[in-house]
Amino acid sequence: MKDLITIRDLSRSQIDHMIELALSMKKDGVYPQMGSKKVASLFFENSTRTRLSSETAAMNLGCLVNGFAGEEGTSVKKGEPLLDTARMLEAYDYNLMVMRHSLEGAARAIAEQVKIPVVNGGDGSNSHPTQTLLDLMTIKEYHGTIDGLKIGLIGDLRYGRTAHSLLHALEHFNVEVYLISPKGLDMPKWRIDDYEERSKRTPKLLRQLDTAIPELDVLYVTRIQRERFAQGIDGEVEFSKVAGKFRVDCELLKKAKTWLSVLHPLPRDKFNLEIAMEVDHTPHARYIEQARNGLFMRQAILSLLLRNDLSTEREIPISHGPKLKARAIPNGVKSGRRMIYRLSHGTVIDHIPAGLGMQVYQNLKLAGISDAEVLVALGISSESMGSKDVIAVHGQNLSVDQVYRLGLISEKLTINRIENERVVEKYHIELPSLIEGIVQCGNVKCITRPEHREFIKTKFFSEKDRNNQPMLRCYYCEQLFERGQLELV
Ligand code: NCD
């Protein structure tokens, strides 16, 4: 594995190995020397700990470090695409880059385009893998184990990337997870679904901390991510509804187990103080040690990547195009009241979910075909679907691109090829494992969205959800979508 982009790329044994390596570096105070390798630190977004600990880690390994903190003073301000900025580092013979960006999937997009290792230091609300590794290291160091613990994540679970990555990492451990958030800042449903699917456990969803606090071994507090709320008055109003909602103070901690550790990725927000300053002096407070562990964990990560010593166990699918699954043809010719149009030659797209007929018509660009007659029938009664739309295209077979597009709309669709008024072939469309450049990501913060003008072609992996329904996962922002939910490009 060349890069560290998301915690999901790591297996349990890789996570354990990285924790052990970081703990041993901390204990022994001995760090491998990487011989003047050059590390670039590209922080497009604000940072204190991630940037400084990564840079210090690189220096401790004997690397040379250069980069920037914030877009001010860089050509980003002149409108430079992210890809160009990143390519420069490769051109200047850097050996690795650590980057943080506000768009989700930014680190993945860069990692795909450059040959040197990329470490994701945070991509919008999506992911923060190095933070999660240091969080786990801190839990392991203090409690001696991660398995068997009751771990509460509290605060901004909607926008907080540290909570997202930590939840996914905990899929590998035998823990009980409590998700405690104010209304409006809940953990996204698709992330909980992923957690349940992979861990076969269900997290407890709570609105209050006081009932949960006596049960917990670890309390992971997060800041309300003010910068992720909408700009302007609407965002201000939303923020004021949730700001200061939870506060961990000494009074509350009286109800906690003596060994409860309070963690926080930091910074805390001095205007709302999700952890009161007085807590710093209690044995519960682990967040300063946690931040210190960031140095050792990042030394471990950088040394592994610079030596190309991090293997991957994740398979990345490759594209084979859409698969057509032949269906039985009942009797070739249909007659009676459901017959809407008798075609001599052409294609009938049947079982379009009612209401999507016109969308299909437009997406397939059927309006532009001059010598074909196209008939769109809406709201036809159907035994299997109740109501359906049907499109008949006279004298035309569908192109591969059109079949692809149909497959992305619904799995229920059938394509019927007609010759001499008979159905000669009938298909369902199965999505390929990789879908590139055809649908747009539904996440407005995803790096691939055209309005961000970063020119990253979309890439989706098809997956099955718990109910065996086909779903699409964006390779960049990692979000999961139902097919049919996404707009075609
Ligand atoms: C976090 C981040 O940037 O996501 N901080 C960090 O990296 N230590 C959390 C936050 O900003 O609230």
What average pLDDT does this structure show over 63-67? Answer: 97
Distance 88 CA to ligand 1 centre (A): 27
Task: Ligand 1 pocket test: pick from 162, 246, 293 the residue with the most ligand atoms within 8 Å of its Cβ.
Answer: 162
Q: Note the pLDDT of residue 246.
A: 93
The protein residue with its alpha carbon nearest to ligand 1, atom 12, reads 223
pTM value? 0.90
Q: Note the pLDDT of residue 332.
A: 45
Distance 135 CA to ligand 1 centre (A): 12
Separation of alpha carbons 38 and 96, rounded Å = 7
pLDDT tens for each residue of 98-111: 999 999 999 999 99
Q: Note the pLDDT of residue 409.
A: 81
Catalytic residues: 49-50, 78, 100, 128
What average pLDDT does this structure show over 112-135? Answer: 97
Separation of alpha carbons 9 and 315, rounded Å = 9
Separation of alpha carbons 69 and 78, rounded Å = 16
Nearest-atom number in ligand 1 for the CA of 265 is 8
Q: Which two tokens stand for residue 137?
A: 């290291």
Q: Which two tokens stand for residue 161?
A: 């990337």
Helix (H, G, I), strand (E, B) or coil at 7: helix
Task: Ligand 1 pocket test: pick from 128, 246, 297 the residue with the most ligand atoms within 8 Å of its Cβ.
Answer: 128
pLDDT tens for each residue of 198-215: 999 999 999 999 999 999
Helix (H, G, I), strand (E, B) or coil at 3: coil
Q: Which two tokens stand for residue 228?
A: 């992720």
Q: Note the pLDDT of residue 3.
A: 96
Separation of alpha carbons 355 and 341, rounded Å = 19
The protein residue with its alpha carbon nearest to ligand 1, atom 6, reads 265
Show the ligand 1 pocket: residues with CB < 6 angstroms. 49-50, 122, 128, 131, 161-162, 223, 265-266
Higher pLDDT, 30 or 331: 30
Distance 162 CA to ligand 1 centre (A): 7
User: Does the structure show a pLDDT above 60 at 368?
Assistant: yes
User: Does the structure show a pLDDT above 50 at 337?
Assistant: no
The edge-to-edge listing of strands for the beta sheet with 480-482 is 434-436, 459-464, 470-474, 480-482
Task: Ligand 1 pocket test: pick from 266, 271, 272, 292 the residue with the most ligand atoms within 8 Å of its Cβ.
Answer: 266
Of residues 480, 482, 477, 481, the one with CA closest to residue 161: 477
Nearest-atom number in ligand 1 for the CA of 50 is 7
Q: Which two tokens stand for residue 443?
A: 């996440």
User: Does the structure show a pLDDT above 70 at 135?
Assistant: yes
338 CB neighbour count, 10 Å cutoff: 12
Distance 268 CA to ligand 1 centre (A): 9
Which band of pLDDT confidence, cut at 50, 70 and 90, is reported for residue 244?
Answer: confident
Distance 225 CA to ligand 1 centre (A): 9
